[in-house]
Amino acid sequence: MRQALARNIGPRGKNIPQAQGRDVFLPAPTGGWDTETPMAELPQTRARTMDNWIPHGVSLEMRQGHNAHVTGLVSPVETLLPYNAGATAALFAAAGTAIYNVSSPGAVGAAVVSSLTSARFSHTNITTSGGSFLWICNGADYPHHWNGTTWATPALTITTYTDNDINYVAEFKERLFFIFKNTLTFGYLPIQSIAGTVTNFPMGAVFGYGGRLVALGSLSRDGGAGLDDYFVALSSEGEIAVYQGSNPADAAEWALVGRWYAGEPIGDRPFVQMGGDLGIITSNGLVSVQSLMSSGQSPESIPYVSAPISTPFRLAVNLGRSYLGWEGIFISADSEDLLMINAPTNTTTARQFIRHRTTGGWGRFTGWNFETFEVFGGDVYAGGSDGSVYHCFNGYDDNGADITAALETAWTTMNFPGLKTLLEIRPVLTTTTRATMRVVGRTDFRSLPSLPAWPFSTITNACIWGVSLYGEKYYGGEDNTTRQWRAISGEGHNVSLALEARSNQSQFSLNGFNLRFVPGGQV
């Protein structure tokens, strides 16, 4: 049988390289940190590691930094106390045996309250016909309040217990409620009162597991203040009792809605407001009270908001549960829109678990070794173990130091299940000045190779017009989206990218990666 002769393309044609390289784009994992989904099933919208990134919906934003606000308090700052009354506002810090006014930046002034036993306060603001007050207590000293001008000790009439037994205060429906330390009894004052006769309300018959009261709070079924608000009491054994009404002295106006098991609370500030909802920091994660009330009584049905990061959360609890500093705060200031949980690892260091309200994505902050956080005047402040108060989410460096962010992406075949060899990578990122990044590709679920050394070029501020030399640095004021290719290596079926980035004095956002590979292994 006759066959056509093969076309002879000649020796030159045989040497023409064939285009085999393939380019793919991997978007930044804006869905946040996920340690619980099996690695082989983790979607590309999630990350295996996410330190110092905020998972916004369209990109990953490196967190902003902090700088010193007030220095010289000597002892660790354990509590920040904000006072807000119309146009009058002040911020106080409790450290060691004293309270200081830290409203203005600079060196700390003289103490406004002294001779204290503890700096770990519970506090609330309340407005009555007599004015607006910041009311504080700590279970060791007499309670104090501030009216915008003067600190004073409220005149309280208490039975069974004493004034310095009050270690927790909360406002609910224009009334102050207190916890008496190491008891299952709370007390309360008449409506719109900051002093007077305290009425006791024993709860020993309510909590089946016993223990002591740890925290008091409120939540709303309709997202605002009104008839649908509930009063929540939490015990040290993890039970919550939820009440509806406004006057515990009147059975017609105060009724037990139910009792639920939330899990062992961690720290002395386990409640965190989540909009109209109330969160509880427990040994197994963050629990939503509203979801708990809807899910039933079974411990197996506890709805953990922190479920995607259960393993690192539990490890943090095991490591740091005995240290002060566990607390949560909802931050709508500075357009961050974050829920943040402070998790101390020892007496001087801490990490923060963060969750973006809109995307629901989790992440973790490192480098913020703070004992407490507070929102004041629309900004976020933190108390440090070094005796300073810091202004957070302010600028793009950590008190002068670089911010370092780490990321490990999900494993992916890049829609090509066969063997592949990595060639080049191009991180697509946006920054107003130069930044430094190191990145490697890892294959087939291996933890190697390690990240290379940092590039020799260092983080620099944008040039100052008329001062810096032309051609040496970048001028600021305009976003620069970098698209520089860099060599990368690796051979395998599944690929994950590991990177670290440093930034200083500049917003830094990661949009994704262009990745170039060739099918097959290396020859």
- Which stretch, 186-200, 283-297, 440-454, has highest mean pLDDT? 186-200
- Residue 469 reports pLDDT greater than 70: no
- Residue 336 reports pLDDT greater than 80: no
Q: How far apart are CA 269 and CA 65, in angstroms?
A: 25
Bigger pLDDT: 132 or 11? 132
Please name which of 333, 431, 421, 454 lies closest in space to residue 382, comparing C-alpha atoms.
333
pLDDT interval class at 326 (50, 70, 90): very high
- Residue 465 reports pLDDT greater than 60: no
The pLDDT of residue 521: 80
pTM listed for this prediction = 0.90
Q: What's the DSSP call for residue 104?
A: S
Count of all residues that appear for the chain in the document = 523
- Residue 222 reports pLDDT greater than 90: no
The pLDDT of residue 225: 47
Q: Please give the average per-residue pLDDT across 152-163, as a whole number.
A: 97
Q: Please give the average per-residue pLDDT across 240-250, as a whole number.
A: 95
**Range in 52-56, 57-61, 165-169, 281-285 the model is least confident about:** 57-61
Per residue in 267-291, is it b (16+ CB within 10 Å) or e — as a string? Answer: bbbbbbebebbbbbbbebbbbbbbe
Q: What is the mean pLDDT of the chain?
A: 89
The pLDDT of residue 476: 38
Q: How far apart are CA 352 and CA 367, in angstroms?
A: 9
Per residue in 306-331, is it b (16+ CB within 10 Å) or e — as a string? Answer: bebbeebbeebbeebeebbbbbbbbb
The pLDDT of residue 80: 98
The pLDDT of residue 461: 39
User: Would you kindly state where each structural domain of the chain is located, as residue ranges?
Assistant: 19-62+406-519, 66-102+324-394
Burial (CB count within 10 angstroms: exposed 0-12, middle 13-18, buried 19+), residue 344: buried
Q: Please give the average per-residue pLDDT across 91-112, as a whole number.
A: 97
Please name which of 156, 144, 178 lies closest in space to residue 134, comparing C-alpha atoms.
144
The pLDDT of residue 430: 83
Bigger pLDDT: 469 or 246? 246
CB atoms within 10 A of CB 132: 16
Q: How far apart are CA 436 and CA 440, in angstroms?
A: 14
Question: Is CATH 2.60.120 what the domain over 19-62+406-519 is classified as, yes or no?
Answer: yes
Condensed to tens digits (0 to 9), the pLDDT of residues 477-505 reads 334 455 678 889 999 999 999 999 988 77
The pLDDT of residue 107: 97
Q: How far apart are CA 443 and CA 453, in angstroms?
A: 20
- Residue 428 reports pLDDT greater than 80: yes
> What residues contact residue 124 under an 8 Å CB cut-off, 6+ apart?
134, 135, 169, 170, 171, 176
- Residue 460 reports pLDDT greater than 80: no
Q: How far apart are CA 458 and CA 180, in angstroms?
A: 55
The token pair that represents 110 in the structure block: 């003289």
Condensed to tens digits (0 to 9), the pLDDT of residues 397-418 reads 999 999 999 999 999 999 999 9
**Range in 202-211, 226-235, 454-463 the model is least confident about:** 454-463
Alpha-carbon separation of residue 297 from 229, 255, 286, 292, 514 (angstroms) = 21, 19, 17, 8, 49
Instruction: Say which residue the tokens 């006769």 belong to.
Output: 197
Bigger pLDDT: 429 or 379? 379
